[in-house]
Amino acid sequence: MSPSIAIRLEEELKDAGRRYQKGVKQLCADGISRVPNKYVWPVQERPVNDKLNSSKAKLVNLPVIDFAELQGPNRPEALKSLAKACEQYGFFQLVNHSIPSEVISSMVEVSKRFFELPYEERARYMSSNMFAPVRYGTSFNQNKDKVLCWRDFLKLTCHPLPDVLPHWPSSPTDMRELAVTYAKEAKHLFLKLTEAVLDSLAVRLMRDQIMSEFEDGSQLMVVNCYPQCPEPDLTLGMPPHSDYGFLTLLLQDQVQGLQIQHKDEWHTVQPIPDALIINVGDHLEIFSNGRYKSVLHRVTVNSTKSRISVASLHSLPSKCTVRPLPELIDDEVSPKQYMDTDFASFLAYISSCEPKKKNFLESRKLI
């Protein structure tokens, strides 16, 4: 190969790398008609080759938990349903959750408008710093992913709000106001749900202390955009993964895309209007000593519609240690299953390798 050709190929590779760093929205704006090779997943990992073809996957009937029931006289029965959902599915749909529908619709709508901004405006928030209060990016972990995902995201650190709010996007002009309103509503709902989770686990000791830690706990809001894709069977919006935190509150539009793994098969979740999807995170699996399960889930994409979701991930303060609750440990019946861990260990793990499935949680297991 002549030096001139080698230089040209090197420049082409660099140019392709720069294009991918700009994200999927920009690729679509450039008018692509094929999925670039960088986004094409290995044959065995594509949704079309699963036991359940993504285009024919059964809709999973996730348990539906009525938040109003959790707050009323039927709370004991509702807690049993909550425990069963966390044990068997790791997911449930929450209805009557008290977040006003206008707050939900406004959050979805302003998220769409953010991703419609010119690339130069969105690029102001690009950062490889995992601790940045605001991060705009693409894929899952674009610095480590061997194959990129059909996804752009905006991550907003939500605690403490007075410190991080000045860093949040100022465009669209109403984004901060609408996102703050939703973040506060989500945090309030998370605390109420956490009280119910503790009750469903029959936690009695140190209950007040645990709740006070969660009140000062971490909250990360991830706004996801999955643009329509010319060849959706070749790629994924997000790969199979579990969430690291305690509970995730997922707000999504009415476009299907979320799939969960249940009984070793993938099932599509049908959104319920105004409902939130709640899922158990790795920290809750550790906290419950394995009783409640964080479950693998992924996102598929389609050729006709873009999809927006807003995930609010909640856990203990980042400096706290997450460990199995002592009163849920019995050396004979239910021995300790996970080593103590902290958020710093999680960040170090995902910063050093390509995240896959539940590898981090598996690395914390004792038995």
Distance of alpha carbon 139 from alpha carbon 144, whole angstroms: 10
Quick one: tokens of 50? 């699963």
b/e map 58-68, b = 16+ CB within 10 Å: eebebbebbbe
The burial of 170, by beta-carbon neighbours within 10 Å (0-12 exposed, 13-18 middle, 19 or more buried), is given as exposed
Quick one: tokens of 244? 């690291």
Each residue of 142-158: pLDDT tens digit?
A: 667 889 999 999 999 99
Each residue of 175-198: pLDDT tens digit?
A: 999 999 999 999 999 999 999 999
User: How would you list the strands of the sheet with 258-262, edge to edge?
Assistant: 59-60, 265-269, 258-262, 297-299, 238-241
Query: ∠ CA(300), CA(305), CA(140), 5° rounding?
Result: 40
* pTM of the predicted structure, to 2 decimals: 0.91
Q: List the domains of the chain with CATH numbers.
A: 9-363 (2.60.120.330)
Each residue of 325-352: pLDDT tens digit?
A: 999 999 888 999 999 988 777 767 766 6
Select from 121, 107, 124 the least CA-distant residue to 158: 107
Each residue of 278-288: pLDDT tens digit?
A: 999 999 999 99
Query: ∠ CA(134), CA(287), CA(185), 5° rounding?
Result: 45
Quick one: tokens of 279? 């899922």
b/e map 263-301, b = 16+ CB within 10 Å: eeebbbbebeeebbbbbbbbbbbbbbbbbbbbbbbbbbb
